[in-house]
Amino acid sequence: METAMDGGFARRARQFLPKSRGDKVAFAFLVVIIHLIFYFEQFRVLPEIYHEPCLASYIHTAFMVFVYINTVGNLFMMMNVDTTTGSHVLPSILKPGWHFCASCEANAPPRSFHCWECGTCILKRIHHCTFTGNCAAWANQRYYIVFLLYMSIGAVYTNIMNFDYVWDVMGGLTVTSILTMFAPLVMWIAGQAKAHTFFVSIMSMVCLIGGAFSLVLFYYHSKLTLLNRTVFEFNKRISDYDLGWQQNLEQAFGTRWQLVWLFPLLPSPLLGNGLEFPVNSDVSEAVKDM
Ligand SMILES: [Zn+2]
Ligand SMILES: [Zn+2]
């Protein structure tokens, strides 16, 4: 029997939280790292650069809070939006371009695919993201791309901010500092690095590797968005839905596509219903000629 708690928040949380063990571990890692980096920059690095609070340090803090809110806010919204075909009444007759999903025992519209991690068909499924434990898709593409944008901005910012501080803590470019950077645990256990140096080297490596990963992902998904393609369509070189970059951005981010980067709760209604998508003139003319 379901309790009131189970019927409400807990059931909803079960829907959007990662389901597989691998996704749960990756998601927990992401959440811990985001908060650890925020703490590290705000309470370790910033006070080393500005010893006293001043206008510049307040501007840095305001910027970090802005990036943090947009990162976490878009991450939460990306996971919280229903991306499944289950949110629609699906036709019992197989329409042209649709396919039958044996797992869901239902007809699925064009561009939708069954996700084995999410356990259901996803509307305009772009790909399954292990770190968020959810699919990036028609309904949440806006939040996913803006989340990647702020992860990338945060990554570039933290690596620039860290440079002088990490250089000082590590004691410049020496054999010991290079070994501590690449094998901090070994150097700490061997007594060659202090606990503080160990922590700083771990944080700077996380910022470097995480930053490079975020930038690559953001570049790849920006390309997909500007071309209006899913990962499957990109790999198969399908360009039927490419309407030009401006319309493609409107398709992905909604009618207020220019403003979505400002705040995750800013409304930007999506075009269409996720079941049908406009195709470009090349495809519509080819259909006419048939
Ligand atoms: Zn399915
Ligand atoms: Zn998925």
pLDDT tens digits along 176-188: 888 888 888 888 8
For ligand 1, the distance from its centroid to the CA atom of residue 101, given in whole angstroms, is: 5
Does the pLDDT of residue 3 top 60, yes or no? Answer: no
Backbone angles phi, psi at 15, to 5 degrees: -70, -40
Does the pLDDT of residue 166 top 90, yes or no? Answer: no
For ligand 2, the distance from its centroid to the CA atom of residue 84, given in whole angstroms, is: 9
Q: What is the pLDDT of residue 286?
A: 65
Residues with CB under 5 A from ligand 1 (ion): 101, 103-104, 114, 121
Does the pLDDT of residue 23 top 90, yes or no? Answer: yes
78 falls within a domain: yes
Ligand in closest contact with the CA of 86: 1
Q: What is the pLDDT of residue 1?
A: 42
Share of the chain above pLDDT 70, in %: 93
Ligand in closest contact with the CA of 128: 2
For ligand 2, the distance from its centroid to the CA atom of residue 250, given in whole angstroms, is: 23
11 falls within a domain: no
Mean per-residue pLDDT over the chain, rounded: 90
Number of domains in the chain: 1
Residues 6+ apart with CB under 8 A from 243: 228, 251, 278, 280
For ligand 1, the distance from its centroid to the CA atom of residue 201, given in whole angstroms, is: 45
For ligand 2, the distance from its centroid to the CA atom of residue 115, given in whole angstroms, is: 5
Residues 6+ apart with CB under 8 A from 131: 26, 27, 29, 30
Query: For residue 225, what are its two tokens?
Result: 């968005």
127 falls within a domain: yes
71 falls within a domain: yes
The DSSP bridge partners found for residue 115 are: 120
Which residues form the domain of 214?
19-89+97-274
Mean pLDDT of 231-243: 96
For ligand 1, the distance from its centroid to the CA atom of residue 143, given in whole angstroms, is: 23
Exposed (0-12), middle (13-18) or buried (19+): which is 55, by Cβ within 10 Å?
A: exposed
115 falls within a domain: yes
For ligand 2, the distance from its centroid to the CA atom of residue 156, given in whole angstroms, is: 29
Q: What is the pLDDT of residue 131?
A: 95
Ligand in closest contact with the CA of 127: 2
Does the pLDDT of residue 5 top 50, yes or no? Answer: no
Ligand in closest contact with the CA of 19: 2
285 falls within a domain: no
Query: What is the C-alpha to C-alpha distance for residues 271 and 277, in angstroms, rounded to an integer?
Result: 9
For ligand 1, the distance from its centroid to the CA atom of residue 104, given in whole angstroms, is: 4
For ligand 1, the distance from its centroid to the CA atom of residue 146, given in whole angstroms, is: 27
For ligand 2, the distance from its centroid to the CA atom of residue 132, given in whole angstroms, is: 10
134 falls within a domain: yes
Q: What is the pLDDT of residue 4?
A: 47
Ligand in closest contact with the CA of 83: 2
pLDDT band at residue 37 using 50, 70 and 90 as cut-offs:
very high
Mean pLDDT of 103-112: 94
Mean pLDDT of 100-122: 94
Ligand in closest contact with the CA of 102: 1
pLDDT band at residue 8 using 50, 70 and 90 as cut-offs:
low
2 falls within a domain: no
